[in-house]
Chain A
Amino acid sequence: MRNDTALITEQVLIAPDIMRMELETEIAADTSCGQFIQILVPGYFLRRPISVSQVRDNCHLSLIYRVVGDGTRVLSQLKAGEKLDIFGPLGHGFPVIDEDVVLIGGGVGIPPLIETAKRHISSGHHVTAVLGFASESQIFAKEELESLNAEVIIATLDGSCGAKGTVIDAVHAHDIAKETTVMACGPLGMLKAVSAYFEHGYISLEERMACGIGACMGCVVKTPEGDTMRVCKDGPVFEIGKVVL
């Protein structure tokens, strides 16, 4: 974990309100799948936590994020060649396990699954990625995952592409066994459904954060025993059943 001035090498719109930003930074060398970095957006006080979608090599990171407010809008307007103050890598990401896995992502929850897919595939495992979107026009990351040799299954709420309905509808439609280890990131409702269906696996949570390193207790989640975990430091990835959604 360190502070670095990263160079933006590319920034492109890949779907409505979805940006992909490529950064040149030494932080890449220490970054694992499912971890995040904090970005100081010029003119804003708190850093924006953004998950890492791919570690390209020891000095290049790829981020995919959604423009949700003023801060991310300013971030999206930065151009290749500009510098960015970043801090990371932060948090505990997805484990890389010695078996085939199913990755489930909803919308802007998909990015951390891309590096997770890459690491499992490169260690010889089959990766099924179930991606949920509102409609066909919103789809991103499909080609990126396919180019990594993941099997991609699409679900759209309006049925305009792939299975009609949620990612869980797609899981049923494709008879994905509940015994498979799942790794998921997406909206709370999706994470609850994934946790209810699969017997074991990991989920990545999102919360408003301040420090990003576990000091301020701003982004907490409860365990079934009533203890507190910090999303930024103990997570963002937790084993299913270890936190109350």
Chain B
Amino acid sequence: MDLRVDLPGLHLKNPVIPASGCFGYGREFAELYDLSLLGGIAIKSATPKERIGNPVPRIAETPGGMLNAIGLQNHGVDYIVEKELPWLAQFDTEIIANVAGATEEDYVEVIRKMNASPVVKAYELNISCPNVKHGGIGLGTDPKLAAQVTRMAKEASEKPVYVKLTPNVTNIVEIAKAVEEAGADGLVMINTLLGMRIDLKTAKPVLANTTGGLSGPAVKPVAVRMVYQTAKAVNIPIIGVGGIMNAEDVLEFLYAGASAVEVGSANFHDPYICPKIIEDLPRVLEKYGYQSVKEATGRSLL
């Protein structure tokens, strides 16, 4: 069974990549299993300066998933380049650096500082965060702004740039086409869906941040639908993400048009879930008559 996937900048031995924000920089999971088993790792968002994140509670359970409002807490790009990236060099897996910021210039700054690292094989732009220059709206919700940050990132970058799309938009295909035209090498979709929970005793939001990002199996049909619609409209590869719990879910995303997948909050449900999915994937592909991951990609688009 051929699990390999070749994407811009990424030579994946298998299509399974832990999603950014759910895996830190891999240190904690490295105590559980060999990270070289993974196709790649999308490391936690880097911003130009350290961010302390949101107040707690940052986590709430929901039916079939969870809400989080971590607030992009990270030590800042300098610390990540100095401490985390060299440590990750020991693993035979492809590192995707997730980049976040409050302005377009923030993305450029982070990318310039990471360009020299041989560990980083590609960037993934998190364009779901509120943007201070544009009245707090996310760059990912406006095709023009999404295209602009993609163009600026591409100019600064010495590696392929993937854009991670937010599902909190009216027409995700329009955003996807805009970033493709702006030069994106690939798409990662979807980020979390904006959600909220209210405590019945206090009548107050459960999360200190009021709202948070919904993830987990509950969002999978939304993610599959968006990957499917987008794959029909663009010619750049898509990394599918949203509620993947097992190898069958991976196949569903491949069918919808994804070339590889990211696994997010499922890592909290079962910390060993990524190696389990990788181990089970050949069986599932074979069961449905495929000799490789590539064969299954886009099957439903035919």
Residues in A lying within 8 Å of B, measured CB to CB: 1, 3, 40, 44-47, 71, 87, 207-221, 226, 228, 233
Contacts and interface: CB of A to CB of B under 8 A. Distances in A.
Contacts of B23: 215
A46 B22 contact: no
B54 to A, nearest CB: 9
B272 interface: yes
A64 B29 CA distance: 28
Interface in B38-63: 44, 52-53, 56-62
Nearest to B64: A45
Contact of A208 (B57, B269, B271, B272): B57
8 contacts: A87-B271, A209-B59, A211-B267, A211-B271, A217-B24, A218-B59, A218-B68, A219-B58
Given A45-B265, A87-B271, A211-B271, 18 more contacts: A1-B31, A45-B62, A45-B64, A46-B59, A46-B268, A47-B268, A207-B56, A210-B68, A213-B28, A213-B31, A214-B28, A217-B73, A218-B59, A218-B68, A218-B70, A220-B53, A221-B56, A233-B28
B61 A216 contact: no
B28 A215 contact: yes
A226 to B, nearest CB: 8
Nearest to B245: A45
A44 B61 contact: yes
Contact of A217 (B32, B60, B70): B70
A75 to B, nearest CB: 13
B59 A208 contact: yes
Contact of A45 (B22, B24, B31, B65): B65
Given A208-B56, A220-B56, A71 B271 contact: no
Contacts of B22: 211, 215-216
Interface residues of B, number: 34
Most chain A CB within a 10 A radius of its CB, from B29, B267, B271: B271
A36 to B, nearest CB: 15
A228 B59 contact: no
Most chain B CB within a 10 A radius of its CB, from A212, A214, A217, A219: A217
B51 to A, nearest CB: 10
A46 B269 contact: yes
B21 interface: yes
B271 A217 contact: no
A228 B66 contact: no
A102 B217 CA distance: 46
Nearest to B272: A3
B266 to A, nearest CB: 9
Contacts of A46: 59, 61, 66, 268-269
Nearest to B218: A45
A152 B82 CA distance: 51
Interface string B65-90: 11010100100000000000000000
Most chain B CB within a 10 A radius of its CB, from A213, A226, A233: A213
Interface string B258-285: 0000000101111110000000000000
Nearest to A227: B52
A114 to B, nearest CB: 27
Contact of A215 (B24, B56, B66, B68): B24
Contact of A228 (B52, B62, B216): B52
B56 A219 contact: yes
Contacts of B58: 208, 217-220
B45 to A, nearest CB: 11
Contacts of B27: 214-215
B24 A214 contact: yes
Interface string B232-265: 0000000000000000000000000000000001
Given A210-B59, A233-B28, A228 B73 contact: yes
A213 B61 CA distance: 17
A140 B68 CA distance: 35
Contacts of A208: 56-60
Contacts of B217: 45
Interface in B11-29: 21-24, 27-29
B61 A45 contact: yes
A233 B32 CA distance: 14
Interface in B160-208: none
Nearest to B22: A216
Contacts of A228: 52-53, 73
Given A3-B270, A46-B269, A219-B58, A211 B28 contact: yes
Most chain A CB within a 10 A radius of its CB, from B27, B58, B64: B58
